[in-house]
Structure 1
Amino acid sequence: MARAMRAHEPTLRTAYAACRRINAHYGRSYFLATRLLPARRRPAVHALYAFARLADEIVDAPGPDPSGALGELEICLKDALAGEPTPHPVLPALADTVRRYDLDPGLFTDFLASMRMDLTVTDYATLDDVAVYTHGSAGVIGLMMLPILGTVGPRAEAAPYARGLGEAFQATNFLRDVAEDLARGRVYLPADHLAAFGVDRERLLHAVRTGRTDRAIRRAIAHLVAHTRALYRAAEPGIDLLDPVARPCVETASRLYGGILDEIAAADYDVLAGRAVVPPARRLAVALPGAARCLAARVRTREPARGA
């Protein structure tokens, strides 16, 4: 761990190491893109990812009392942010990241509010309804990332784009994970957009049961893929507002996640037959040019290229 992250503190060092392992294990594309950041900035990104992942696990693989577990996590987070000791494996790193980059604690409140929605909300009638969820589940993550990535101008100018890119990532997840979410009793795709193609929850469930995705479902998914591509395009101008050494990381993350949409299209929009993933060869083909741009940016700005 770089000295900037107080590596001499064993508890903090252990917490950051745990965050890195969680990111590497669960977020392959995200972790690969993060490797393009200067080493001293990576631990903070790992901390944000690990916290979000652990909260997500509480609601996606619930135990006997997921609401209580989420509440306990929130209490532990408040204690950690207040400087109180916590036995939680990742919260010391998260609290250090919040202090180091002066992150708004209210963003974590919004995030946990969306996580609580997963315990009670199973359908979304409109895109506006979905947007309420994605603001907290993904938009605020983009806003948390901004101080870590850095900007070339006022942060407020980059904020809408950062929030939008986070929501584009989330919309991609919704399309990739339709079958998994159905198994958990949830449909994140807006009901009104599905209905325009004659699709509803029962039609999706029937397709899963029979293993046959019909034309109406494919057309609905194709429509939502097009909508999600538009979200990426709308967020793209924000990349130029970032610190030059951070741009290759975000460009690569955007291309890797956008590649999931390409895989969905290549499967003729059959998202129920299996999870669309970007093949390792394509991930590497995207990451290598990003690494070259990253190195060039570091040379121009004299940003250290190495670290733990």
Structure 2
Amino acid sequence: MTARELDAAGITDPGLRAAYARCRALNARHGKTYFLATRLLPVERRPAVHALYGFARWADDIVDSLGPEASREDRARRLGLLGDRLERGLDDGHSAEPVVHALADTARRYAIDHRHFTDFMAAMRSDLHVTDYADYAALRAYMHGSAAVIGLQMLPVLGTVVPRAEAAPHAAALGVAFQLTNFLRDVGEDLDRGRVYLPADLLAAHGADRELLLWSRRTGRGDRRITAALRAAEDLTRGVYREAAPGIALLDPLARPCIRTAFVLYGGILDAVAEDGYAVVHRRAVVPLRRRLTVAGDGLLRVLRARTAARAGVPRARRAPAGPPAPAGPPAAPTVTVPEEAG
């Protein structure tokens, strides 16, 4: 329940509670997989995650979901207005705009580096005019702002058992892995928006390019060159998951089930893409409900074990102080209900 989460987090101001509730609604409506994993966090940390997701969702909607009638100039204007509200909100600690108000409060409570938000906004602005990427290095530079910083924003909320800077590269990699997964799943939808996130050199290495993808989308026909390129993109993405995986053990034990569940659920999207014959140019791959329920159940059991151990006073790794913020430079679906008792 929203009130229980807000009470546990010590959020008492009515306006601020309404702001966080709005962010939670955005998370529940748009981030089905993400919202499920969030339900496995300690209840007092969930509002902060909702605020981080809600803001990112709002900015992304300006770029992608305003409808065909919204011009690039209109999107740029709205992003600029959001950026101004963000800057003032972070400086003042509050905002008249509810989503920014919740974000600013979260940034203050958890001492989140403001550069992570400005880098994110820079990536959103680039989506207005950049429609493809020559190589993976260029894409990874973009994903620093669009995805890696999301992991870095989350890290203070999750907590670590090592100095935060030690866990930061893994958190950034996990954000990138999740976004690469979305890029692979959404190839067809991104083509409809005029974008290709698969690096051009990766496509070319298998004899594919934007025009071939567009032809396939338009005709509904497959091509072995596209399949080979998509399989290579899957391999690349799984490599980033391997970069991220060691970071789970560096998190606060009470936060690990949440991130492990997200890790497995998003990895399951890659499995579904492969099992569907890499047909993502034509349709989204869907993870079967039975598989999602199994993963959710395993996550819930891990939560209960971790909290039982904590109540019993079982020794756990020392939670280290956060230390200085990590460097901000670029690094070298349906809802399944989790019982409220899990919180």
Fold agreement, TM-score > 0.5: yes
Alignment correspondent of 2:31:
27
Q: Matched residues in 2 for 1:166 and 1:26: separation? A: 17
Indicate whether 1:135 and 2:139 are aligned: no
Amino acid at match of 2:24: R
Q: Matched residues in 2 for 1:46 and 1:35: separation? A: 10
| Alignment match of 1:200 (pick from 202, 209, 213) | 209
Alignment correspondent of 2:320:
none
Judged with a 3 Å threshold, the aligned counterparts in structure 2 of structure 1 residues 163 and 97 are, in CA distance, closer, same or farther, namely: same
Q: For residue 283 of structure 1, give the secondary structure of its aligned residue in structure 2.
A: helix
| Alignment match of 2:158 (pick from 132, 142, 149) | 149
Q: Matched residues in 1 for 2:267 and 2:127: separation? A: 25
Q: Matched residues in 1 for 2:268 and 2:162: separation? A: 29
* 1:9-47 per-position Cα deviation (integer Å, ceiling 9, x unaligned): 111100111111100110111100110001000110010
Alignment correspondent of 2:329:
none
Task: After TM superposition, list the pairs within 5 Å mapping 1:293-308 onto structure 2.
Answer: 293-302=302-311
Alignment correspondent of 1:97:
106
Q: Following superposition, which runs of at least 4 residues in structure 1 exceed 4 angstroms of deviation?
A: 305-308
Q: Matched residues in 2 for 1:86 and 1:41: separation? A: 21
Indicate whether 1:282 and 2:291 are aligned: yes
Q: Matched residues in 2 for 1:23 and 1:191: separation? A: 32
Q: Is the 8 A contact 2:94 2:104 kept in 1?
A: no
Alignment correspondent of 1:220:
229
Alignment correspondent of 1:52:
56
Alignment correspondent of 1:8:
12
| Alignment match of 1:113 (pick from 119, 122, 136) | 122
Alignment correspondent of 2:257:
248
Q: Matched residues in 2 for 1:105 and 1:300: separation? A: 35
Q: Matched residues in 2 for 1:90 and 1:277: separation? A: 30
TM-score normalised by the chain length of structure 1: 0.96
* 1:176-227 per-position Cα deviation (integer Å, ceiling 9, x unaligned): 1111111111101000010011100000000011101111101110111011
Amino acid at match of 1:35: R
Q: Matched residues in 1 for 2:120 and 2:84: separation? A: 14
Judged with a 3 Å threshold, the aligned counterparts in structure 2 of structure 1 residues 76 and 306 are, in CA distance, closer, same or farther, namely: farther
Q: Matched residues in 2 for 1:170 and 1:178: separation? A: 12
Alignment correspondent of 2:43:
39
Q: For residue 264 of structure 1, give the secondary structure of its aligned residue in structure 2.
A: helix
| Alignment match of 1:168 (pick from 165, 177, 182) | 177
Amino acid at match of 1:44: A
Q: Matched residues in 1 for 2:124 and 2:145: separation? A: 8
Amino acid at match of 1:24: A
Q: Is the 8 A contact 2:93 2:104 kept in 1?
A: no
Structure 1: segments with no counterpart, 5+ residues = none
* 1:215-267 per-position Cα deviation (integer Å, ceiling 9, x unaligned): 11011101110111111112101100000011110000010001000000001
Amino acid at match of 1:3: D
Alignment correspondent of 1:18:
22
Identity of aligned residues (%): 58
Amino acid at match of 2:294: A
Residue 88 of structure 1, CA deviation:
1.5
Residue 4 of structure 1, CA deviation:
4.9
Q: Is the 8 A contact 1:6 1:12 kept in 2?
A: no
State how many pairs are aligned: 307
- Pick which of 133-142 and 73-82 moved more: 73-82
Q: Matched residues in 2 for 1:193 and 1:307: separation? A: 43
Amino acid at match of 2:285: A
Q: Is the 8 A contact 2:19 2:102 kept in 1?
A: yes
CA RMSD of aligned residues (A): 1.6
* 1:155-178 per-position Cα deviation (integer Å, ceiling 9, x unaligned): 111000000010000000110111
Q: Is the 8 A contact 2:20 2:50 kept in 1?
A: yes
